[in-house]
């Protein structure tokens, strides 16, 4: 008996995660994988987290094992509010923060709260593939706006805003998948376009603290636009396995609606993990820890860029990120990265083809490479293998 006729239209139209499939295919220990968005395990503060684990059980007892409030541990929310006030000048209290089960749950909640079938949303072209997945469940109409070296294509953004749009989803810092960062001028122009419009701006910022060159730029809407949502996470700076992300907004009514959706979904995020992360943050130097991660990732990014300069043909171009975890490769016109993927696996190297990062493109001549989860020697060998394949194809 088939279950097909019992499924919702939303689930039928939602694509499975291409990256999850790649990670399974790349599980062969001989495969050098640049596919996953994985932080380097050497950056995990395991000893400090073990100390925090023992301390929270001794100090808080049954509280770390009990049900808790939907918005999240008050002490952790206040820590986030204080940190964003200190570092980014945002005037926040813990009431402006909701703890989520990773940033992915935040995307899911945003879809549930704002989207009905057919609603228009603006996304970058290309954009984060898991955001496409989360929003697709609600069957929106995607309005992709191309990315340039400066940020969103402002002419295309203006055209897309002529229609009734629910929200704009952006990743202004070290964008996933491209590694690009919006310029200060581009951010200001976007703000001017939106300040008098009734539209929600989502700034997803998992990578902003991983800047290893240049200065942090101000957010587009956080602290300035009334319908602004800022997403953050500890997955890239402490540990991804705890799945601790957060939503920040100055609009408390908006947060109330997101909290109701979260309550309906999981009641609250794992409270043991929340206590553990908060205790770690309260008893350790997070900025010092992040500085070590930045130095590591800068070295790995440079190793990948140097190898690409040596081994890739001149007909292939790529971004040069100043932070984050990814860079974006553009192949000659007519060369499909998706078709190249299987050939690359045969040579024991993996990447993510561009197709899953678009809502309206097939056979893309682009690919995403991750440089954070391999040492420099492994990066060198993996890029050499890719370079040889590219020379055959291009």
Which of 261, 283, 305 is a domain's end point? 283
- Give pLDDT, residue 137: 95
Residues 13 and 55 in one domain: no
Residues 100 and 155 in one domain: yes
CA distance 135 to 166: 12
What average pLDDT score do residues 79-106 get?
97
CATH code, 27? 3.90.1150.10
Residues 143 and 277 in one domain: yes
In the predicted structure, residue 88 carries a pLDDT above the cut 70: yes
CA distance 284 to 217: 26
Residue 47 banded pLDDT, cuts 50, 70, 90: very high
- Give pLDDT, residue 26: 61
Residues 18 and 77 in one domain: no
The total domain count for the chain is: 2
Helix, strand, or coil here: 205?
coil
- Give pLDDT, residue 162: 96
In the predicted structure, residue 394 carries a pLDDT above the cut 80: no
Six-digit token string for 23: 């990670």
Residues 30 and 67 in one domain: no
Residues 279 and 294 in one domain: no
H-run or E-run covering 141 = strand 141-148
Q: What is the domain extent for residue 246?
A: 46-283
Which of 283, 311, 340 is a domain's end point? 283
pLDDT in tens, 233-291: 999 999 999 999 999 999 999 999 999 999 999 999 999 999 999 999 999 999 999 99
Nearest to 42 by CA among 388, 365, 300: 300
**Distances in Å between the alpha carbon of 371 and those of 306, 316, 321?**
12, 18, 11
Residues 216 and 119 in one domain: yes
- Give pLDDT, residue 25: 64
Helix, strand, or coil here: 116?
coil
Report yes or no: 213 and 322 within 8 Å, Cβ to Cβ. yes
Residues 39 and 59 in one domain: no
- Give pLDDT, residue 167: 98
pTM of the complete model beyond 0.85: yes
Burial class (CB in 10 A: 0-12, 13-18, 19+), 148: middle
Residues 127 and 16 in one domain: no
CATH code, 224? 3.40.640.10
Q: What is the mean pLDDT of the chain?
A: 95
Residues 307 and 378 in one domain: yes
Residues 313 and 346 in one domain: yes
In the predicted structure, residue 48 carries a pLDDT above the cut 70: yes
Nearest to 166 by CA among 207, 138, 186: 138
Residues 313 and 233 in one domain: no
pLDDT in tens, 309-320: 999 999 999 999
What average pLDDT score do residues 32-53 get?
95
Which of 283, 302, 320 is a domain's end point? 283
């Amino acid at each position: 008996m088939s279950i097909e006729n019992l499924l919702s239209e939303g689930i039928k139209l939602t694509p499975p995660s291409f990256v999850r499939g790649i990670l399974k295919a790349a599980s062969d220990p001989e495969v050098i994988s640049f596919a996953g968005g994985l932080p380097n395990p050497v950056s995990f503060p395991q000893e400090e987290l073990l100390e925090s684990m023992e301390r929270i059980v001794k100090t808080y007892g049954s509280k770390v094992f009990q049900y808790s409030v939907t918005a999240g541990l008050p002490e952790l929310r206040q820590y986030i509010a204080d940190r964003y006030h200190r570092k980014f000048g945002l005037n926040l209290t813990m009431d402006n923060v909701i703890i989520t089960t990773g940033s992915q749950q935040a995307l899911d909640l945003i879809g549930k709260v704002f989207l009905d079938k057919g609603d228009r949303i603006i996304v970058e072209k290309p954009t984060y593939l898991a955001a496409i997945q989360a929003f697709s469940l609600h069957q929106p109409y995607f309005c992709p706006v191309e990315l340039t070296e400066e940020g969103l294509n402002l002419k295309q953004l203006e055209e897309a805003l002529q229609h009734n749009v629910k929200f704009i989803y952006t990743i202004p810092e070290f964008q996933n998948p491209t590694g690009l960062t919006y310029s200060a001028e581009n951010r200001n122009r976007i703000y001017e376009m939106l300040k008098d419009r009734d539209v929600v701006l989502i700034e997803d910022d998992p990578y902003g603290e991983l800047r290893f060159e240049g200065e942090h730029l101000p957010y587009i809407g956080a602290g300035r636009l009334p319908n602004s949502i800022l997403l953050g996470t500890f997955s890239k700076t402490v540990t991804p396995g705890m799945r601790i992300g957060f939503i920040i907004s100055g609009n408390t009514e908006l947060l109330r609606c997101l909290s109701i959706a979260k309550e309906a979904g999981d009641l609250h995020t794992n409270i043991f993990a929340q206590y553990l992360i908060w205790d770690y943050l309260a008893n350790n130097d997070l900025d010092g820890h992040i500085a070590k991660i930045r130095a590591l990732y800068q070295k790995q990014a440079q190793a990948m860029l140097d190898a690409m300069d040596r081994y890739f043909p001149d007909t292939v171009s790529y971004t040069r990120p100043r932070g984050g975890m990814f860079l974006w490769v553009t192949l000659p016109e007519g060369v499909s990265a998706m078709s190249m993927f299987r050939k690359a696996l045969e040579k024991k190297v993996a990447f993510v083809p561009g197709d899953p990062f678009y809502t309206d493109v097939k056979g893309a001549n682009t690919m995403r490479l991750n440089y954070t989860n391999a040492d420099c020697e492994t990066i060198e060998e993996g890029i050499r293998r890719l370079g040889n394949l590219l020379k055959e194809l291009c």
